[in-house]
Amino acid sequence: MIEVQGVCHAFGERRVLDHLDLTLTERRIGVIGANGSGKSTFARLLNGLVIPTEGRVRVGGLDTRTDGARVRRRVGFVFTDPDAQIVMPTVAEDVAFSLRRRRLAKPDAARIVAEHLAAFGLDGHADHPAHLLSGGQKQLLALCSVLVTAPEILVCDEPTTLLDLRNARRIADLLASVPQQVVLVTHDLDAVLGSDRVLVFHEGAIAFDGEPAAAVDHYRTLAG
């Protein structure tokens, strides 16, 4: 469960989030809104990448302000640009790097890496230079490297923005299938229609919170 209580956030003099109060328990939560509406800052609050200027964010009872490292073990984060989180030279090494805190024996780590690469269709690219993958493959690798750590919650900040239509659909289908609670920030309105709940951000506040189709209609009215 994610609890957002009395949260405000400002960058210098610019307030980007204003008095958010939410409890997120649904399995699939969509977040939509115009550029600059505060939705990406909101996403970063959920695993402690951003600490609110005012208020608290709790994940499973852990406060992001005081328990940030433990929160980040529970909450995986996927960025818009996968190059921002691919850190190792090859595909297999990048996934293995995510397992380093578990201090596994090498054969166990290699087995887990191989299983995850196969699940993401990357098993034929294990020794391939990670930064030479296609855009879609890089995003699959970024997801794989997060999910191999078995987080309870997955927060994705516009993960399909840089992808073509085929790869965007592939990532969307993958996110729909994972067992984790997923918070998906996106400009792809079709991608949130299968959500259990959709938040519409507008000028740092939540303008609508509810059923997906109604949320999309509300956003279109704001944008219109």
How many domains would you assign to the chain? Answer: 1
User: Alpha-carbon distance 45 to 216, whole Å?
Assistant: 23
H or E segment to which residue 197 belongs? strand 197-202
Model pLDDT, residue 86: 93
Which CATH number goes with the domain that contains 160? 3.40.50.300
pLDDT of 13 strictly over 90: no
pLDDT in tens, 164-215: 888 888 888 889 999 999 999 999 999 999 999 999 999 999 999 999 999 9
Mean of the per-residue pLDDT values of the chain: 94
pLDDT in tens, 122-165: 999 999 999 999 988 999 999 999 999 999 999 999 998 888 88
**Dihedral angle sign, alpha carbons of residues 84, 88, 91, 94:** negative
How deeply is 179 buried, as exposed, middle or buried, from its count of CB atoms within 10 A (0-12, 13-18, 19+)?
exposed
Q: In what order do the strands lie in the sheet with 197-202?
A: 75-78, 153-157, 181-185, 28-33, 197-202, 205-210
pTM beyond 0.85, yes or no:
yes
DSSP 163: S
Mean predicted confidence (pLDDT) in 58-84: 95
- Write out the residue range of the structural domain in which residue 114 sits: 2-223
